[in-house]
Each structure stands twice: as C-alpha cells, then as structure tokens.
C-alpha cells in the first residue's frame, strides 16, 4: 500500500540591501515556522563558518585581498557547497530559509563592473527558490537605521548601485516585494502571510537563468 507522501519543504530566499532587515526577519520566520509545527533551518550566505565562507569573511573584513573574479566564484562556490544540504532538507519536508542567495552575488558583482554574461552563469544549477522575498527599504528609513558597517562593499556608492541593479533581476513569477519600511512586527506579518501562500505541489526546480 502506498504511504501518504509528506509535503516537501520550501526554499525561501530573503534579498535586499544592507540594513533592510533581512537577517532579523529571516530569523523570525524560522522561529515562526517552527512554532507553527513545521521544521525549518536558517542558512546565511555567505556562510562565514565554512572554509570557503571564512575566506570571504577575511576579505570582507579587510584581512586579505582578492581578485574580484575569484571572490565572485567563492560566493557561488559557497552556495553550491550547500546544494546537497538544501535538497536533502527539502526532500525531508524541512523549509530552508536563506539570508541572501545568488541575487546578491549577481548584483554586487555587476555593481563592481564584472562582465554581465559571466556573472550571471556561475550560479546556474543551484536549487531555484520557491519565493524571493525582496526587501524594499526607502533610503530615508535605511539611513535612520544607522551608518554603514566597516566591512568592504558597505559603501554608500556601491549600495546605491546594487539598489539599482537588484530590481532588474526580479522575476515576477516567484519574487514578492516586502515593504521593509514597516515596524519589525508588521514586516514579520507580511512575510508570514506570503509564506503561508507558498505552493509546494510541484517539485523543487533547478535555477536555469538569472
């Protein structure tokens, strides 16, 4: 007799500029999913604890220098090293919540002037998100949340470029805008509503183009 098929997990990606509240809300979503009786894991990209992520972390903190192409590939490699984990969790019914994904990779590298066609292929083959929660924060609100950090890439100039590029990657089929200007509770509510509307009836897809 066939056993009843468990519902698969979902791949949920948070994207947006620095200080749009992604990390806070990704954490809150995982807690909320778990409290609602499902299983979920949080995965930040870059994963600064992994060997590859550690190199990225050292670059970001200004400890080491690196060729920009090499850095781009490390960010992609960091994600591919999590591909198996993501697929396994999703097959087991566990939701995977990512704080950034390949859209940060493409946006930051394009903002730095790396060649477009090359930048857009290195993440092809990753699991495709079921939803990209695109955090949109107004410059005034972002500014009110405090100054930029001390890491590389956190300059107003680069952020402005990334802010122009990221929306051009939007695919309306699975990207949803989140008004990140709201209070943390209001944003949490908006995110959870979008989460509840996820359709898990089709298998997880592979990312073919970005």
Supply the minimum distance, in Å, between the C-beta of residue 153 and Mg ion: 8
Stretch (H or E) spanning 138: none
Supply the minimum distance, in Å, between the C-beta of residue 68 and ligand NYM: 10
Query: Which of Mg ion, ligand NYM, none binds 163 (CB below 5-8 Å, type-dependent)?
Result: none
Query: Which of Mg ion, ligand NYM, none binds 105 (CB below 5-8 Å, type-dependent)?
Result: ligand NYM
Instruction: Give the strands of the sheet with 94-99, arranged side by side.
Output: 39-44, 94-99, 11-16, 131-136, 175-179
Burial class (CB in 10 A: 0-12, 13-18, 19+), 196: exposed
Segment near Mg ion (CB under 5 A); pick from 16-24, 46-54, 55-63, 129-137: 16-24
* C-beta of residue 94 within 8 angstroms of C-beta of residue 41: yes
Supply the minimum distance, in Å, between the C-beta of residue 194 and ligand NYM: 21
Query: Which of Mg ion, ligand NYM, none binds 57 (CB below 5-8 Å, type-dependent)?
Result: none
Q: Which is nearer to ligand NYM, 154 or 200 (CB)?
A: 154
Segment near ligand NYM (CB under 6 A); pick from 31-39, 103-111, 130-138, 197-205: 103-111
Tokens of 118: 């090359």
Bond prior to 24 in cis (omega within 30° of 0)? no
Q: State which of positions 122-151 bind ligand NYM (CB under 6 A).
A: none
The CA distance from 165 to 163, in Å, is: 6
Q: State which of positions 70-99 bind ligand NYM (CB under 6 A).
A: 75
Interface characters, 27-46, with ligand NYM (x: CB under 6 A): ------------------xx
- Residues 6+ away with beta carbon under 8 Å from 28: 184, 188, 191
Supply the minimum distance, in Å, between the C-beta of residue 19 and Mg ion: 8
* 56 three-state secondary structure: helix
């Amino acid at each position: 007799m066939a056993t009843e098929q468990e519902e698969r997990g979902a791949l949920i990606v948070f994207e947006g500029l620095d200080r749009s509240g992604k990390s806070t809300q990704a954490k809150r979503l995982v807690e909320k999913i778990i409290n609602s009786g499902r299983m979920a894991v949080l995965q930040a990209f870059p994963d600064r604890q992994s060997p590859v992520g550690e190199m990225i972390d050292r670059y970001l903190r200004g400890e080491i220098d690196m060729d920009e192409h090499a850095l781009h590939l490390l960010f992609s490699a960091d994600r591919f090293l999590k591909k198996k984990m993501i697929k396994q969790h999703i097959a087991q019914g566990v939701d995977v919540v990512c704080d950034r994904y390949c859209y940060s990779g493409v946006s930051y590298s394009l903002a730095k002037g790396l060649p477009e066609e090359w930048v857009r292929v290195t993440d092809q083959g990753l699991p495709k998100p079921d939803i990209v929660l695109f955090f949109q924060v107004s410059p005034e609100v972002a500014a009110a949340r405090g100054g930029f950090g001390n890491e590389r890439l956190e300059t107003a100039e680069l952020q402005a470029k990334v802010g122009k590029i990221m929306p051009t990657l939007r695919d309306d089929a699975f990207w949803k805008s989140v008004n990140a200007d709201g209070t943390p509770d209001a944003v949490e509510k908006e995110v959870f509503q979008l989460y509840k509307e996820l359709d898990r009836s089709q298998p997880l897809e592979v990312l073919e183009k970005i």
